[in-house]
Structure 1
C-alpha cells in the first residue's frame, strides 16, 4: 500500500463549474502550492456521501496511509451534518492531521478546536440550505415568468430566458458546395457566394419530417448518420452540452426528444420527483408535468396535428414489439462479429433473419443471416461436437430410452413393412409415408424427453443418444429448440451473413 505524507481533496458540484468557471482548476492549483503529493478530485454535490474519490481518501485515512489531508474549506469535504460527525470522529481517532487553507489547521484534540470545527461545518451546512432556498426561489421566479428551464432539447437554445431554435450554422455538406469552391477559398465565411451551411434547428426539423414519413425512429437515426457522416462509436459526449453535430444514440432517446413539449412551443416544469442527497429524482409521467402552453409559439418545430400523429406512431411501434407469431429462440445468443452487440430478430413475409442492432448506425455489419440457414449450420456443428463425446456414458442411464415405448416400437414396425414394399415396387406415395413415419418416430422421441432436458446439464444433453440424428432437430418445436439452445450454446458470432464462431457451454 502506497504511503502519502500530504494529500489534497478538491470538489465542485457540477461539470459546468469544473470546465467553465475554472473553480476546480483553482482549487487544485492552491492545493499543489501547499505541498500536496496527490489530489483526490470529485465533481459531485457536497451533500452526497457516495463520492468515488472521497471514499478512496477516507479508506486511506482509516488504513493510516496518509499523514495529512489538505482541503480549501470544510464544505469541499462535506455539506452533510451526519457525514461531518463521522469525518470528525475519524480524524479524532487517527493520527492524520487536517488542514483547511481558508480556515487554518483543524485541532480536534481540544475543546476549543473542536468547537471551532463544529461552527465551521455548521456554517457549511447552513450555506447549503441557503443555496437550496435560492435555487428554489429562482425556480419559482422562472416558473412564474414562464422562462426557459433546464437543458434545452436538441435543436434549441435559450435567449433572453426563452426557447429559440438554434440557427447557428454548424455543417456544410460536400454535395452543396459550389462547383468552383477552390476559387472561393480566400473569401470570408460570411460571403454570399459561399454555402452558409445547416443549423441544428434545420436538421432537427428534417428529422421530424423524415420520422413522419418512415414512421420508425431507428430509420431516422440511420438516415441522419449516413447523410451527415457521424459515427455512433464517436458519440461519447452529451449532445446537449456540445456544439458538435452529434445525434441520438437510440430510437428510444429520439422518441423522448420528439415528444418534448418545447418542440410544440410549450415549457414544462416539475418533471421530476424531489431529489435526495444522493441522486436526482425519477422523471414523472408526462401527464403529471406542469406545462405552460405557447411560451414560444413562433419557435415551434412540431404542430399539434403532427404531435398527435407522432404519439400514434410511437404507440403503434411499441405494441408491435415482441408480438411475432414465432418465438425468437436464438435471441440473446447471437453476437455481431463487428461491434460485439447482440443481434436482433427481423422478419419479412417469407423468412426470419438475425442482424446487428447497430447495423447502419455506426456498425458496418449490415448483412443479415437467415434463421433457417443459421440453424442448419448450428445443427451440423452440434452433431459434430456430439460425436466427440462418444466415449461419455450415455444419458440413457439417467433418462429412460425412448425407443422402448410401445408407440415408438409400433411406428418402427410400420416403417419396416413399408420399406419392404418399397424394395419390391418403388412408389412416391410409399416413400412419403416412410418419411412421415420417420418424423413421427423422432417426434415421439423428442416429446417424451423434453421435460427431462429441462433438468439435464449441457454435457448430458450433448451425449443424448438422438442428438446426432438430424431428423431429431427438425422434429423439435420452437419451445423445445429454445430450451436446448440455451442449455448448450454460449454464443454464436455472425459477420457478413455468415456464422464465424460457435461456442458451447461444454469443453472438449
Structure 2
C-alpha cells in the first residue's frame, strides 16, 4: 500500500524544526510509506509538499492520505475545498491523527470547515494582539533593538561605553560607542562606503573568506559590516538621538517618508549631529546616483562633474578634453551630452567648463544678494494651516470632559511636537545651505583661492543641476 503523510511548520526556528521531527515520527508510526512536509504559512496555496500529496490523490496513485490535523494542512477555505473536492472525486480516504477528518460525510466536511475557520480566527487574533502590542510600544516611544554602538536600558537606548575590543598593537580598549564615533568620522573624511570599510577592516583585522562549499566559508565577526549594513547604520535616526519605526526590510535605506520618527528620545546619546547627517545623507544620495563621490586620485577633478545635464534628453554630460592649437601644452575641457556618441541625442555642440562655471557663480552670487535682502525683513511667525488645525483640536480636547480625551490630547501633542521637529530639521538644512552660500560669496576674492575639490563640494551642496543646450547654458537650478 502507498500511504503518503503530510505535515507543516511555520518557520525554521529550532522549536519548529523539533516539532517537525516529532510529526514525521508520528506519521511514520501511523504507517505512512512516504512523508511530505513544508516550512511555510498555512495560508499559502503554493506549498510543494501539500500540492504533491493532492496530486497523488487526484491521480489515484495512493490508497490513503494521512495528515496530522486540519490546521497543519491549511486555514484557507479555498485550499480546504480544493482538498475536499479532490478526495471525493478520487474516492481516496483521508485520516487525521489529531482530528477526525472524514470528507465522505456531510458531518465530517462540516467538522473540517469549522476547524479550518477556527484556525483562521486564531491567526487573526494573534495578528491583532501583535498589532496592539506594537501600537502600545510606539505610544511609549520604546526602542526595539539597539544598533551597533548602543545598548538598551529599560525602554530607552544609550551609548554603550563598555569595553568591546582591544587593539593588539597598542593594547587600547575601545567601546562600541567609541568605534561608532570613529566610523562616522571615517565616512565623513572618505565620502565612500567602500573606502570606509577598507580602512575600518584593515585597522581591526576583519577578514572574510569564501569557498565553493559552505563548510569552507567563514563569516565576519560581530564587528564587521557589509556595504548595505553600514549604509543602513549611517541612515539610522537612532544615531542622531531619535527613535524610528517602519525601517524593516527594504525600507532601511529608502522610502524615508514612510519612517515613523520620534524625535529627541535620547538627545544626550548621539553618535552624529544633524549637520553631520546632512553631509552623510547628501553624500550617500550622490554616490547612489553617480556611483562615487570622487574619481581616482590620478584623474583631474572637475568641480561641476555630475551636475551638468543635457536640456534636450535630460542625460548627463561628460567632459571632453582637447589641446589648444596655439599651445599644445595647455589642455582644456568641454562638457558634451554623453548620449550624442550613441546617436540617441542630437546635441553635438559642447560648452567650455569655464563658461558653465561662470554661469553657476553668477547664479549663486545673485541668489546670495536675494537672501541678504530677505534676511533684513521681519520674520513671519504665522503658523501654517496644518499646525493651526492641530492646535485648535488640542485646545478643544484639553477642555473636554471625560477620560477618553486624555489619550487624544497626548496623541495631538505628539503630532505637534513631531511637526515642530520636522520643521526645525528642514529649516536647519536650509539655514546651513544659506549660511554656506553667504559665507562663500560675501568675498569674491576668497572664491578664487578655493581648490577644485573645495569648489566641487560647494557646488554639490548648493547646486541641483545645470542644463545646457546648443552650446549655451539654459538653466541653473539651485538647492537654496
Q: Normalised by the size of structure 2, how large is the TM-score?
A: 0.51
Partner of 1:92: 88
Verify the 8 A CA contact 2:6 2:50 in the aligned structure 1. Answer: no
Q: Output the CA distance in 2 between the equivalents of 1:41 and 1:165.
A: 45
1:102 aligned onto 2:78: no
Q: Following TM superposition, by how much is the alpha carbon of 1:82 offset from its aligned partner in structure 2, in angstroms?
A: 2.4
1:230 aligned onto 2:207: yes
Partner of 2:285: 315
Q: 2:137 aligns with which of 137, 142, 153?
A: 142
Verify the 8 A CA contact 1:7 1:66 in the aligned structure 2. Answer: no
1:247 aligned onto 2:238: no
Partner of 2:451: none
Query: Any gaps of 5 or more consecutive residues in structure 2?
Result: 301-339, 344-480
Q: How big is the alpha-carbon RMSD for the aligned residues of Structure 1 and Structure 2?
A: 4.0
Verify the 8 A CA contact 1:10 1:24 in the aligned structure 2. Answer: no
Q: Following TM superposition, by how much is the alpha carbon of 1:142 offset from its aligned partner in structure 2, in angstroms?
A: 0.8
Q: Following TM superposition, by how much is the alpha carbon of 1:44 offset from its aligned partner in structure 2, in angstroms?
A: 3.0
- Structure ID, larger Rg: 1
Q: Following TM superposition, by how much is the alpha carbon of 1:60 offset from its aligned partner in structure 2, in angstroms?
A: 4.7
When residues 269 and 323 of structure 1 are mapped into structure 2, their CA distance, relative to the original with a 3 A threshold, is: closer
Match of 1:106, SS? coil
Q: Output the CA distance in 1 between the equivalents of 2:91 and 2:162.
A: 58
Q: 1:206 aligns with which of 176, 182, 187?
A: 182
Verify the 8 A CA contact 1:173 1:228 in the aligned structure 2. Answer: no
Q: Following TM superposition, by how much is the alpha carbon of 1:110 offset from its aligned partner in structure 2, in angstroms?
A: 0.6
Q: Output the CA distance in 2 between the equivalents of 1:39 and 1:157.
A: 46
1:111 aligned onto 2:81: no
When residues 221 and 115 of structure 1 are mapped into structure 2, their CA distance, relative to the original with a 3 A threshold, is: same
Q: Following TM superposition, by how much is the alpha carbon of 1:257 offset from its aligned partner in structure 2, in angstroms?
A: 2.4
Q: Which residues of 2 match residues 57-76 of structure 1 at below 5 A?
A: 57-64=53-60, 66-76=62-72
Partner of 1:175: 169
Verify the 8 A CA contact 2:192 2:293 in the aligned structure 1. Answer: no
Partner of 2:262: 292
Verify the 8 A CA contact 2:243 2:265 in the aligned structure 1. Answer: yes
Q: Output the CA distance in 1 between the equivalents of 2:167 and 2:88.
A: 65
Partner of 1:260: 236
Q: Output the CA distance in 2 between the equivalents of 1:153 and 1:315.
A: 22
Query: Any gaps of 5 or more consecutive residues in structure 1?
Result: 178-194, 273-279, 325-344, 351-476, 481-508
Match of 1:93, SS? helix
Q: Output the CA distance in 2 between the equivalents of 1:67 and 1:157.
A: 59
Partner of 1:349: 299
Verify the 8 A CA contact 2:164 2:174 in the aligned structure 1. Answer: yes
Verify the 8 A CA contact 1:263 1:302 in the aligned structure 2. Answer: yes
Q: Output the CA distance in 2 between the equivalents of 1:244 and 1:65.
A: 51
Q: Output the CA distance in 2 between the equivalents of 1:116 and 1:214.
A: 67
Q: Following TM superposition, by how much is the alpha carbon of 1:161 offset from its aligned partner in structure 2, in angstroms?
A: 3.4
Q: 2:19 aligns with which of 22, 26, 30?
A: 26
Partner of 1:48: 44
Q: Following TM superposition, by how much is the alpha carbon of 1:123 offset from its aligned partner in structure 2, in angstroms?
A: 0.2
Match of 1:268, SS? strand
Q: Following TM superposition, by how much is the alpha carbon of 1:137 offset from its aligned partner in structure 2, in angstroms?
A: 0.9
Q: Normalised by the size of structure 1, how large is the TM-score?
A: 0.49
